[in-house]
Structure 1
Amino acid sequence: LVIIGVTPEGRKERVAIADGFRESKASWQEVLLDLKARGLQAGPLLATGDGAMGFWAALEEVFPATRAQRCWFHKMGNVLNALPASQQAKAKAAMQGIFMAATRDDAMAAINRFITTYGAKYPKATDKLVQDKVSLLAFYDFPAEHWQHVRTTNPIESTFATVRHRTTRSRNCLSRATFLGLAFKLMEEAEKSWRRIRGADKIGPLLDGVPFRDGIPVQDDPPEQQKLAA
């Protein structure tokens, strides 16, 4: 179980790495409570993850105010798996048109077009998209410069791919502590190549409660709306 965060200066940082039982709620809850004990009292503004229900259930209990952003990479895989191979290339392009839309309204229009195209013949595929549409579009309430960083879990996936490659064959030959130590050192080495996120200057306004709509700061909202939007 891995969590990567971003500092107020825009620097990516590994904040947690632990082993867990099948990504269960209890396992994720232990990781999140440890973060809280180490000082993350308010919780993150946004959390991006895949469909692991254990993570979202634990997040709702430990940091209930944190917004959820479902990973588009994983969601596309889930939807495409429910479509015949002959339809997958066109459907993938249609889904990319959703999360690359300039505004939330444009994204919703693209979702509706997807439903119109595939809903009658492949309802299981469209249901997988519709059921998470709110969390799939959460990134629109954050700076446009950050969208490429928060729409997917790629920052974790790309880093952990190296860890997985190096540890898969030795998994049954190492103790739990040794295995975690090896994974930690591999990630520590990978961190050296991490770059700051785009739009680091937008983190300050976010933390100050300035709301964003379609990636643009909204300065004229009343304070209470600012608080809710953040």
Structure 2
Amino acid sequence: MAISDEMLDDLLGSARTQDDLFGKDGILKQLSKQLMERLLEMEMTNHLGYMKHAVEGNNSGNSRNGKTKKTVKTGNGDIEIAVPRDRTSEFEPVLVEKRQSHLKGLDTQVLSLYARGMTVRDIQAHLTELYGTEISRDLISTMTDAVLEDVTEWRSRPLESVYPIVFIDGFVVKCRLDGRVCNRTVYVIYGINMSGQKEVLGLYVGENEGAKFWLQVLTELKNRGVEDVFILCADGLKGLPESVEATFPQAIFQTCVVHMVRHSLNYVPYQEKKAVAGDLKKIYQSATKELAVQALDDFELTWGDKYPAIVKSWRQNWERITPFLDFPMEIRKVIYTTNIVESLNATLRKAVRNRGHFSTEDSLMKVLYLAINGISSKWTMPVHDWKLALNRFAILFPDRFPERLMTA
């Protein structure tokens, strides 16, 4: 419903300053109070089935029974409202539920701040400064704990049967366990589904990673519905290649080129990163394996004396770096140019970095889940040129390609 200029003029009255509009006793706060009370009265009318003072209420068995004052925390600060009651105490308001002391919009603000890595103490101080309302740490914790059920459901949700490409990456976080702060690695599994959409398949906290750990992780993915993976890209994580072979025997294990380049550039000062990255690109963008070997030899001639660790790393991992060179360029581009790994990792690292350390795995998962929710809401388009890559997958893996897509 559009609000006319005349209605706005009536509301504004003699308001002239920001305080008149948004201050402690400003128009916006008064309007919020009146709107909430009006909506509550409408809810009561709907509950009883007759208007206030209507004759239909006579001898109806239930009627209005005064009001109860209640302070509600909102995005505009604390607002005291009068909540209507009925004689039989059966009225259950929807706008502000019984025993609820805040509007749901405040939950959204708290979760948004929490997703950005702010601590409970930081959120409490921020809301107090912004709205002039004191929100207890227990209330903030309750709001964020409500997400845990969503986290559990998300981590166990059914997955698609086929993912052409899956990436596994990890980063270190600090957790307080047994009274001491220690490092734990969070592994994030991303997939690109048959529609070309990016998706986070799961989050896993590792302690003693090895073949047993990875076998459990990959078996869980299978139990959630994943039947086949064409290409799995990851670092040379201990025990992972063997576990991939055991759970997805037809999958091609590929050392992630994005990881290799990132790792290589860690050795390079800023002023030479562009040049080194450009010469590395000549390796993984080579048309054939033979040309890639030549490009690596050229790289060693140019940079080998200055950065021997880079050359050593690429040569040691060569057999797991080069499988993707057997694929047509349409698929190779998806593997080495997709920024899903880097952009998502940057978001997650930022969220956990602001927290210092986490007291429990649940508190860590809440932050990561909310951060993933935020960034994945922007993944509305398929990977660039996905149709071209999908056609190539159909040609390369005809027996494993979903029949519904072959006939589409």
Structure 1 length as normaliser, TM-score?
0.73
Larger Rg: 2
SS of corresponding position for 2:206: coil
Give the structure 1 partner of residue 197 of structure 2: 11
Instruction: Report the AA paired with residue 245 of structure 2.
Output: E
Distance 1:87 1:181, change over 3 A: closer
2:253 aligned to which of 44, 68, 71: 68
Instruction: Report the AA paired with residue 220 of structure 2.
Output: D
8 Å CA contact 2:330, 2:392 repeated in 1: no
Distance 1:35 1:171, change over 3 A: farther
How far did 1:125 drift?
Answer: 3.8
Structure 2 length as normaliser, TM-score?
0.44
In structure 2, distance between residues paired with 1:17 and 1:127:
31
1:26 aligned to which of 212, 215, 218: 212
Uncovered stretches (5+) of structure 1, i.e. residues with no partner:
213-222, 225-230
How far did 1:86 drift?
Answer: 9.6
Uncovered stretches (5+) of structure 2, i.e. residues with no partner:
1-186, 400-408
8 Å CA contact 1:50, 1:153 repeated in 2: no
Give the structure 2 partner of residue 197 of structure 1: 383
Could you tell me the percent identity over the aligned residues? 26
Give the structure 2 partner of residue 184 of structure 1: 369
How far did 1:190 drift?
Answer: 0.8
Higher strand share: 2
2:226 aligned to which of 40, 46, 51: 40
Instruction: Report the AA paired with residue 19 of structure 1.
Output: V
SS of corresponding position for 1:18: strand
How far did 1:82 drift?
Answer: 6.5
In structure 1, distance between residues paired with 2:312 and 2:303:
10
8 Å CA contact 1:2, 1:18 repeated in 2: yes
Give the structure 1 partner of residue 344 of structure 2: 159
Q: Greater CA deviation, 70-79 or 190-199? A: 70-79
In structure 1, distance between residues paired with 2:242 and 2:369:
26
Distance 1:78 1:2, change over 3 A: closer
How far did 1:98 drift?
Answer: 1.1
Deviations 1:183-227 (A, max 9, x none): 11211221111231123224544554x239xxxxxxxxxx99xxx
> Greater RCO between the two (CA within 8 Å, min separation 6)?
1
SS of corresponding position for 1:45: strand
Write the mapping of 1:214-229 to structure 2, written as runs, cut at 5 A.
none
SS of corresponding position for 1:15: strand
Higher helix share: 1
Instruction: Report the AA paired with residue 38 of structure 1.
Output: R
Give the structure 1 partner of residue 313 of structure 2: 128
Give the structure 2 partner of residue 50 of structure 1: 235
SS of corresponding position for 1:53: coil
* Count of equivalent residues: 212
Q: Greater CA deviation, 68-77 or 177-186? A: 68-77
8 Å CA contact 1:3, 1:14 repeated in 2: yes
